[in-house]
Amino acid sequence: MAVLVFTESWDGKFKKSSFELVSYAKAMADSIGSKTIAISIASVSQDELNKLGIYGADKIISLSDEAFKTLDNQVYTKLIAELADRENANILVLAHNNTGKALAPRLSVRLKAGLVSAAVELPSSYDPFRVYKKVFSGKGFVHQVVKTQKKILTLSSNSFELIESNTTPEIEEYSPEMSAVEIKTTVVDIQKQTGKLILTDADIVVSGGRGMKSPDNWGVIEELAELLGAATACSRPVSDEGWRPHSEHTGQTGKIIAPNLYIAAGISGAIQHLAGVSSSKCIVAINTDKDAPIFEDADYGIIGDAAKVLPELINAVKEMKA
Amino acid sequence: MKIFVCLANVPDTTTKIKFTDQKFDETGVQWVINPWDELALTRAMELKEDTESPVKEVTVVTVGTLGSEPTIRKALAIGADNAVRIDAEPEDSYSVAWLLSEYLKNYEGDHLVLTGIESSDYNGFAVGGMLSEFLNVPSVSGVSALDIEGDHAKVSREIDGGLEQVVIKTPFVAIVQKGIAKEPRIPAMRGIMMARKKPLEVVSPGSFDNITEMLDFELPKAKPQCKMIDPENAKDLIGLLQNEAKVL
Ligand SMILES: Cc1cc2nc3c(=O)[nH]c(=O)nc-3n(C[C@H](O)[C@H](O)[C@H](O)COP(=O)(O)OP(=O)(O)OC[C@H]3O[C@@H](n4cnc5c(N)ncnc54)[C@H](O)[C@@H]3O)c2cc1C
């Protein structure tokens, strides 16, 4: 028996979400008395691989062959399923990010394993296997029961604390039997978001809505974000208008995030927007309209003009840092 | 080439969600095309109208009971050529994907399948990926742009921390998200009239099993009241975030 974790790295470094995943998997493995095994498909140094041990990986299976660099959902599914069978894994966890969303459903079919998407906590019971999760984009909760022997979960980022257990992992360099010629997906171009924090990974997010009036007014959002080490986000009309890139759009039809702090400036708090941000631990709303629905979901509110309030907050953060 | 667009019938996104006996209460609910599927359909229509693209036909496929037909008719009014309703109550992502695959696997012509990345009701993020595995074809997920040239597609997909342009041969399943089309299309009067006469095939499915179950629905817990800060002393917020909320 094993809990298998699919980890991801970026330029040779593991993402924070991967450490969260390993911590989460380790907690499950402890409850059912099994091992925690991590898979890494990328070229990652031995030192970096060992970091997965800090969070409890007993074993790491590393596939560093550059031929498998391109994410081909079908090929990755075969690779992971093969390892899941070989390791006799009964639980498989992936991050609830772009890659996890692409692979988990395919694996569910291939392994005939029931899937729970976007889990935010540990299963409430293992037999029957029950996980508490959001439905209706946060307007409800449900207990999802998985009836198959094998189970797959995707874990929402920022929803599980990092827990150090300092294991010394065994590392296996894996060369798969299947050949990379099966890869059907060809990447012809890639635009990496450079220097900026990835929105779904960020602990703090500063977000602007239509109340910011014009894309020219985003300087204060960016400056505050920079000072706080935060990522920037926006409401849907803002990205629809092309004021900001689609990748920043949060909400039901955009990104779903759960930072520790979400600062919403000039956002009315439409139900579809809240669907993407309501899991934030603390929400701050800045809005000229005292009746804006965002205040119902916010922890702290300021009724005022964002163009005036944000510069004051910038000054206050500078003072705090000084 | 033919594009199949898989449509889910979901409660309008502004629906006030109610649970009765810990089950979703459907009384008074307005049903709509799942928002991502609506964008997928819009893109499919744009491709069909583009004389340079090989797309000649758009078919929508839904797993649903009779009650989902108004939503299917809306898709026909938007412009789909024909529709298929697989007559079953959607149980879980796995069974829905299996039912779709049982229908789609028989199609031998040149084609492409589009699904939305998630459905706004049970947020499973799963049908598209599961369908591709059942069909044993490639899939591309997080698709925010799609063009077709001959027998291959050019696709933009979101990765964590960027965007990739990918080339892939048809058939495959494109799992689409925001950006794939600018605004969802709204049916015009003429479209609504024509939709009544368009073919809607009803298929009786074989037996199937769900492998997960949703039990004991409940509403989110109420949030404590928002603490208001005087705009004249906006600076106080930073202290509160630091010392009270402890998030800075
Ligand atoms: C199917 C569907 C899916 C959707 N998905 C999403 C989604 O994923 N994400 C999303 O965000 N929306 C989504 N929407 C749109 C959503 O319904 C709202 O229209 C949108 O969130 C509103 O964006 P906003 O708050 O920026 O703009 P508005 O609603 O126009 O609000 C602007 C706010 O700014 C305030 N304001 C004005 N001037 C100032 C100022 N100087 N200082 C401070 N405040 C000011 C106003 O009081 C107002 O509250 C969806 C809609 C539908 C139908």
For position B33, which CATH number holds?
3.40.50.620
Assigned domain for B206 exists: yes
Q: Considering chain B, what is the average pLDDT of its residues?
A: 95
| Residue B31 CB burial class (10 angstroms; 0-12, 13-18, ≥19) | middle
State pLDDT tens for residues B75-107.
999 999 999 999 999 999 999 999 999 999 999
**pLDDT at residue number A70:** 94
**pLDDT at residue number B31:** 97
| Residue A215 CB burial class (10 angstroms; 0-12, 13-18, ≥19) | middle
Atom of ligand 1 nearest to the CA of B32: 1
The CA distance from A249 to the nearest CA of chain B, in Å, is 9
Residue from the list B211, B220, B234 with its beta carbon closest to the beta carbon of A309? B234
The CA distance from B42 to the nearest CA of chain A, in Å, is 15
- Say if domain A199-321 classifies as CATH 3.40.50.2000: no
Give Cα separations from B241 to A206, A261, A299, A320, B193 (angstroms).
14, 9, 10, 11, 57
First-last CA distance in chain A: 52
Residue from the list A106, A138, A184 with its beta carbon closest to the beta carbon of B133? A106
Assigned domain for B235 exists: no
The CA distance from A299 to the nearest CA of chain B, in Å, is 5
Q: Which secondary-structure segment (H or E) carries A77?
A: helix A73-86
Please state, in angstroms and rounded to a whole number, the distance separating the CA atoms of residues A59 and B32: 47
Burial A181-210 (b: 16+ CB within 10 A, else e): eebbbeeeeeeebeebbbbbbbbbbbbbbb
Joined together, the tokens standing for residue A170 give 């065994």
Q: How many residues are there in chain B?
A: 248
**pLDDT at residue number B77:** 98
Chain region(s) in chain A for CATH 3.40.50.620:
2-182
Residues of chain B in contact with residue A185, where contact means CB-CB under 8 angstroms, are 138, 140, 166, 168
Other Cβ atoms closer than 10 A to B19: 16
What is the number of alpha carbons within 13 Å of residue A295 lying toward its C-beta?
15
Band (B133; pLDDT cuts 50, 70, 90): very high
Assigned domain for B46 exists: yes
**pLDDT at residue number B90:** 93
Q: Give percent above pLDDT 70 in chain B.
A: 100
Contact B4, B61 (CB under 8 A): yes
B13 Cβ closer than 6 Å to some ligand 1 atom: yes
Nearest to A94 by CA among B114, B160, B220, B128: B160
**Residue identifier of the C-alpha nearest atom 30 of ligand 1:** A210
Chain region(s) in chain A for CATH 3.40.50.1220:
199-321
Residue position matching structure tokens 């074993």: A59
Atom of ligand 1 nearest to the CA of A254: 8
Nearest to A210 by CA among A261, A262, A264: A264
Assigned domain for B113 exists: yes
Q: Which secondary-structure segment (H or E) carries A130?
A: strand A129-135
Joined together, the tokens standing for residue B167 give 């080339």
A239 Cβ closer than 6 Å to some ligand 1 atom: no
Contact A129, A122 (CB under 8 A): no
Joined together, the tokens standing for residue A307 give 């163009």
Joined together, the tokens standing for residue A14 give 């593991």
**pLDDT at residue number A198:** 85
Contact B126, A104 (CB under 8 A): yes
**pLDDT at residue number B169:** 96
Range(s) of the domain holding residue B112:
2-215
pLDDT of B161 over the 90 cut? no
Q: How many residues are there in chain A?
A: 322
A63 Cβ closer than 6 Å to some ligand 1 atom: no
Residues linked to residue A208 through DSSP beta bridges, in sequence order? A234, A265
**pLDDT at residue number A197:** 83
Please state, in angstroms and rounded to a whole number, the distance separating the CA atoms of residues A90 and B63: 30
**pLDDT at residue number B209:** 82
Residue from the list B94, B120, B142 with its beta carbon closest to the beta carbon of A252? B120
**Distance from Cα A222 to the centre of ligand 1, integer Å:** 19
State pLDDT tens for residues A124-141.
999 999 999 999 988 999
Residue A21 makes CB contacts below 8 A (sequence gap 6+) with A5, A6, A7, A93, A94, A95, A155
Q: Where are the beta strands (DSSP E) in chain B?
A: 2-6, 9-11, 19-20, 23-24, 31-33, 57-63, 82-86, 111-116, 139-149, 152-159, 162-169, 173-176, 200-203, 212-218, 227-229
The pTM for the full model equals: 0.93
Residues of chain A in contact with residue B217, where contact means CB-CB under 8 angstroms, are 135, 140-142
Please state, in angstroms and rounded to a whole number, the distance separating the CA atoms of residues A211 and A273: 14
A278 Cβ closer than 6 Å to some ligand 1 atom: no
Assigned domain for B247 exists: no
Report residue B45 CA to chain centroid gap. Answer: 15
A305 Cβ closer than 6 Å to some ligand 1 atom: yes
Residue position matching structure tokens 């299309």: B185
Q: Is B105 on the interface with A (CB under 8 A)?
A: no
Strand-by-strand arrangement of the A125-126 sheet: A125-126, A129-135, A140-146, B212-218
Residue B76 one-letter amino acid: L
| Residue A236 CB burial class (10 angstroms; 0-12, 13-18, ≥19) | buried
Joined together, the tokens standing for residue B162 give 């960027």
**B214, A135: Cβ pair inside 8 Å?**
yes
* Helix A73-86 with A98-110: angle, nearest 10 deg: 60
Joined together, the tokens standing for residue B112 give 């492409």
Residue from the list B19, B165, B237 with its beta carbon closest to the beta carbon of A140? B19
**pLDDT at residue number A300:** 98
ipTM metric: 0.95
- Report the domain count for chain B: 1
Residue A151 makes CB contacts below 8 A (sequence gap 6+) with A90, A91, A92, A113, A114, A115, A116, A129
Residue A162 makes CB contacts below 8 A (sequence gap 6+) with A16, A19, A20, A23, A55
Contact B2, B54 (CB under 8 A): no
**pLDDT at residue number A178:** 87
CATH superfamily of A2-182: HUPs (3.40.50.620)
SS3 call for A153:
strand
Residue A190 one-letter amino acid: I
A270 Cβ closer than 6 Å to some ligand 1 atom: yes
A140-146/B212-218 β-pairing: antiparallel
A204-208/A231-234 β-pairing: parallel
Contact A302, B241 (CB under 8 A): no
Question: What does each of the 322 residues of chain A score in pLDDT, given as a tens digit?
Answer: 999 999 999 889 998 899 999 999 999 999 999 999 999 999 999 999 999 999 999 999 999 999 999 999 999 999 999 999 999 999 999 999 999 999 999 999 999 999 999 999 999 999 999 999 999 988 999 999 999 999 999 999 888 999 999 999 999 999 998 888 899 999 999 998 776 788 988 999 999 999 999 999 999 999 999 999 999 999 999 999 999 998 999 999 999 999 999 999 999 999 999 999 999 999 999 999 999 999 999 999 999 999 999 999 999 999 999 8
Q: From its phi and psi, is residue A173 left (phi > 0), alpha (psi between -120 and 50) or beta? A: beta
Among A272, A289, A294, say which to mutate for ligand 1: greatest number of ligand atoms within 8 Å of CB.
A272
**B125, A109: Cβ pair inside 8 Å?**
no
